Amino acid sequence: MKPIALALTIFLIAPAMHAQEVIKDFGKERLNNSPRHGEWVEIKSGERTIKAFIVYPERKDKAPAVLVVHEIFGVTDWVRSLCDEVAEAGVIAIVPDLLTGQKFEDVDGARKAISALSKEQVKADLDATADYALTKIPSCNGTLAICGFCWGGGVAFGYANENPKLKAVYSFYGNAPDEASKVTNIPCPVYGFYGENDERVNATIPKAEELMKAAGKKYEPVIYKGAGHGFMRLGEPSNPAVREGDKKARDEAWARWKTVLKQL
């Protein structure tokens, strides 16, 4: 198995379970040492109930919220640690478990689980989570944005066309829209974060730029030199196989992201 695949091999354990977790992942140390409050909540999504993980910032006033769309691997320690980092920047972060506790053992299994999700179910779960953030979190000031990573980056960009309440989109190395109808209703700026060595995803950027410009929408894609796909996770200092290009891109992307988060 390739090193990257090995690093991503995880068992996603339902949050209510207390059995020993078998996760080759990173981010747990940050979670264990964080002074911020994080918790799991249950959210009604139609006839279903999904779980979501929330981290609250330490501040005296109400805060905006960011809806986080995870990668194909689900709500890993890394995604939860990223939510903690968003909260450290002063914003409430909430990530729904769109895989509803499914387990998978490898990259192929994760991809298969994600591909089995219907667009309607994903939208319904995101709608339910967005509504929860805006109406059920007393410390939220009514401002909502969305971010996503890899698969989730594409989902976040696409979902912006479905939710008029969003104030910003932060799409990390996810496929961009390829049809005018997919951007017509986007109500807010879209900030893109991409790795230079990720031509599969980057090939979707020019068309999206053309479509967004024609629709009078704001789209700001930035391509980080020397970075590969997944650099926000793979560039983590706690990643034992971290590459310098990914780490540098992650640092630069975080600096940019924190700047635009303050504009919410």
Cα distances (Å, whole numbers) of residue 189 to 103, 118, 227: 35, 26, 24
Closest residue by Cα to residue 64 from 82, 89, 84, 91:
91
Rounded-to-integer distance, Cα 42 and Cα 17, Å: 14
Q: Are 80 and 38 in contact (CB under 8 A)?
A: yes
> What residues are labeled active site?
150, 198, 229
Q: Indicate the helix (H) or strand (E) that contains 19.
A: none
Closest residue by Cα to residue 1 from 74, 109, 76:
109
Rounded-to-integer distance, Cα 106 and Cα 233, Å: 17
Rounded-to-integer distance, Cα 16 and Cα 90, Å: 28
Can you tell me whether residue 87 is helix, strand or coil?
Answer: helix
